[in-house]
Amino acid sequence: METRDSIIASAKNEFARFGFEGARVDRIARLAKVNKAMIYYHFGSKKRLYRAVIENQLSTKADFIEAILRQDLTIDEFVLQLASFYARVFSDNEFLPIFLRELASGGIQVKEIILKTISQKNLTAKLRNYFEAEMASGRIRRVNIEHAIISFIGMNVFYIAVASIANQIWEIENVEGFLSDRPRQVADIFLNGIKAK
């Protein structure tokens, strides 16, 4: 399993830097210190290697949200934890570019896998239920749940994706600080946005 793992790691790096089309099997092999033919022995094709990388990526991420949902948190804690979760996931230097490029090309690979894992764990329903309960209790306003959640995720993910541009536009100098501040800042606006007055 050592060779396989080393190939996956190198491939992840290569795909992250150059995208699927730009990635070179030669380079992956060299980086993994492995004979090029081994890649085909283990994965069959560049495409299948790519899929393996993506599966390997996503399989680890989905557990987190579930863990958060199981914790029975107040809405404030819940939203903050979710924000931190997204920050962490998308700050992965190799995952983000792969994900962005997947989006760019319709994301058929990623989509399938994401849908599978999400439906397996029934995450959609659990999230919906959580928010509905909060609305029923009157702690938050009646808002459209889908729009709200998508907005929330967008607030979190977007900055990470465009950080290099945004930092320059807004002359953000303490990038580290800005980034670590972000979950709290996002949670602040979002919670204010949905809470009953």
The residue ranges that bind a second copy (CB under 8 A) are: 17-22, 96-98, 100-101, 103-107, 110-111, 114-115, 118, 124, 141, 143-144, 146-151, 153-159, 161-162, 164-166, 168-172, 178, 181-182, 185-186, 188-194, 197
Considering only residues 8, 11, 16, 34, which one is a binding residue for DNA as defined by CB under 7 A? 34
Considering only residues 17, 19, 31, 42, which one is a binding residue for DNA as defined by CB under 7 A? 42
Q: Could you tell me which of 149, 147, 145, 146 has the C-alpha nearest to residue 136?
A: 145
Give me the least distance between CB of 197 and a second copy, in Å please: 5
Give me the least distance between CB of 107 and a second copy, in Å please: 6
Q: Does 153 contact DNA by CB under 7 A?
A: no
Amino acid at 153: I
Find residue 195's DSSP bridge partners. 140
Give me the least distance between CB of 43 and DNA, in Å please: 8
* The token pair that represents 1 in the structure block: 């399993």
Q: Could you tell me which of 194, 118, 115, 185 has the C-alpha nearest to residue 155?
A: 185
Cα distance between residue 114 and residue 54, in whole Å: 10
Stretch that binds DNA, among 45-53, 141-149, 155-163, 178-186 (CB under 7 A): 45-53
Find residue 140's DSSP bridge partners. 195
Q: Does 36 contact DNA by CB under 7 A?
A: yes
Closest CB to DNA among residues 4, 139 = 4
Q: Residues near 13 by Cβ (< 8 Å), separated by ≥ 6?
A: 31, 94
Cα distance between residue 178 and residue 183, in whole Å: 10
Q: State the binding partner of 45 from a second copy, DNA, none, CB within 5 to 8 A by kind.
A: DNA
Closest CB to a second copy among residues 6, 94 = 94
- At CB < 8 A and 24+ separation, what contacts does 107-115 make? 109/50, 109/51, 109/54, 110/54, 110/58, 113/54, 113/55, 113/58, 114/58
Give contact residues for DNA (rule: CB under 7 A). 1-4, 23-26, 34-38, 40-42, 44-47
